[in-house]
Structure 1
Amino acid sequence: MSRIKLAFAVIILALSGHGATAQSEKTGVEKLYVLNCGEGTAGDISRWTPGLNEGKTMDFVDTCYLIKHSKGWFLWDTGIADAVAAMPNGLVPADPKAVTWRRPKTLQAQLEQLGLKPEDIKAVGVSHTHPDHTGNVELFPQAVLFVQKTEYDWPGANNEPRFKPSHPVELLSGDKDVFGDGSVTVLSTPGHTPGHQSLLVKLPKTGAVVLSGDAVHFRDNWDNRRVPSMNVSKDQTTASMQKIADTLGKEKAQLWINHDKAQRDSQKMSPEFYD
């Protein structure tokens, strides 16, 4: 009888060990890379801070984020078009108060530095459809595009569609758990545009971060809850900032503000990463 009990105990131990090994396999987000997707100078930042800073210039950055998940690569925002890298004076806007963008590094070159080709990216999310966030969407014609339906249906210039009709797309109506495990969640944060969205990412060591998109453009606007004059809805913008604040509290998360140069300059840039 004691031998039988011993054999049974060995089987249970072996099974439990196998279970422990299976559970220890990596799941969820493994790495997050911060990519340089443009640098520029705003001619007059009063459009972002109504009633303040008339005539003052300000440096902006444009950031994309590459997420390595156990189920595949996910890119958040695609930045200024790579073609701008070849423009000696940058992309000069018609409105001198807007941002003149430059592209010191192309998105494709930064992917190549990580040993990746565009076709390795399985999904792309865009915070919204302004060109400094969608400039390279068609570099990934095979990737599923995550975008709010209200944004997708929002008419572009001359009522043109904002994306090629052939591009595979998942139209969202609110928040979306991208991988079904809670590690990457699209947050509906309208106001800057009708279907603007932000992203909550939960990293195993760094913890949770919220990628702002343009729900807020720089730290001073966040601290003072300022709403840029070009936003489509002041009320929606204010509500979205509150939603982000609530998420930061609930998840004990950091807020990474897309265009804030001081914050971006303090971050590890690709090929370094956060895990």
Structure 2
Amino acid sequence: MMSRITLALAIAALALSARAASAQTGVEKLYILNCGEGVAGDISRWSPGVNEGKSMDFVDTCYLIKHSQGWFLWDTGIPDAVAGMPNGLVPADSKAVTWRRPKTLAAQLEQIGVKPVDVKAMGVSHTHPDHIGNVEMFPQATLYVQKAEYDWPGANNEPRFKPSHPVELLAGDKDVFGDGSITILSTPGHTPGHQSLMVRLPKTGVVVLSGDAAHFRDNYDNRRVPTMNVSKDQSLASMQKIADVVSKEKGQLWINHDKAQRDTQKMSPEFYD
């Protein structure tokens, strides 16, 4: 009789242990980080034929995700060095964005007790400077990037990342941790290998991080494609792909540069779970 009781208790303990382990898998928290603030000189650059000569505030956003297998960072924003520039990062094109860095990425990580070395993996939506400004702050982190983006020649045909940086080259969507909680979505068009991110949070539900598949809500809603995008057809297809994912998952779309939306969100050190 005692052996049967002992066996039953052991089985019950194993079941509880399995449930506890299951509860600890996947995404635990998502922090929204301020990775730059700026003013666009003329937003018709992003919405051809509309808003000619109209200026607009932009934001630049990074996302730090706590997964049971380690920290994952999405986009790295404007370089932290811009925080020390009194006039900000002024573009040659007056229609583009003058960027400032009111908070450094390093300081925001420190505020929540995360060191750069703690970040084990990272991804960038694409290789424009306002998204890769601090990639080399994390030389040990595996960088997930589409091969089409990695191979896209930079200025003067220079590589877009240091050759020594550990990289996993992708050719489409990628389930980063194999549990469906963080999925990179291939969304080309803005650049050859642009990508977005789907995050499955335990309480908040599914969130899709746009990258620059759309720069602000009006462009997304009206399917407007910026003149600087490499492919209008791919851009439209990618916006539709995002719309399909959001619809299927009953999720939210968070648009990277949209200040009106970000003003409604919880910023680090607060988080979404």
Alpha-carbon offset, residue 10 of structure 1:
4.5
Alpha-carbon offset, residue 250 of structure 1:
1.2
Structure 2 CA distance for aligned equivalents of residues 14 and 167 of structure 1 = 47
* Equivalent residue letter for 2:164: S
Partner of residue 15, structure 1? 11
Superposition RMSD in Å:
0.9
- Superposition map of 1:34-49 within 5 A: 34-49=32-47
Task: Give runs of ≥4 in structure 1 deviating > 4 Å.
Answer: none
Partner of residue 200, structure 1? 198
* Equivalent residue letter for 2:55: T
Structure 1 CA distance for aligned equivalents of residues 219 and 9 of structure 2 = 57
TM-score by length of 1: 0.97
Q: Alignment partner for residue 81 of structure 2, among 75, 80, 83?
A: 83
Larger-Rg structure: 1
Alpha-carbon offset, residue 188 of structure 1:
0.1
Structure 2 CA distance for aligned equivalents of residues 212 and 24 of structure 1 = 33
Partner of residue 68, structure 1? 66
Alpha-carbon offset, residue 251 of structure 1:
1.1
Partner of residue 244, structure 1? 242
* Equivalent residue letter for 1:179: F
Partner of residue 172, structure 1? 170
Any stretches of 5+ residues in structure 2 without a counterpart? none
Alpha-carbon offset, residue 21 of structure 1:
2.5
Structure 1 CA distance for aligned equivalents of residues 49 and 124 of structure 2 = 30
Alpha-carbon offset, residue 54 of structure 1:
0.7
Partner of residue 32, structure 1? 30
Partner of residue 184, structure 1? 182
Alpha-carbon offset, residue 19 of structure 1:
1.8
Structure 2 CA distance for aligned equivalents of residues 94 and 228 of structure 1 = 18
Structure 2 CA distance for aligned equivalents of residues 21 and 122 of structure 1 = 26
Per-residue Cα deviation, 1:86-142 (whole angstroms, up to 9, x for no partner) = 000100000000000000000000001011111111111000000000000011111
Structure 1 CA distance for aligned equivalents of residues 50 and 238 of structure 2 = 22
Partner of residue 55, structure 1? 53
Partner of residue 234, structure 1? 232
- Superposition map of 1:106-145 within 5 A: 106-145=104-143
Alpha-carbon offset, residue 9 of structure 1:
4.6
Partner of residue 103, structure 2? 105
Partner of residue 253, structure 1? 251
TM-score by length of 2: 0.97
Any stretches of 5+ residues in structure 1 without a counterpart? none
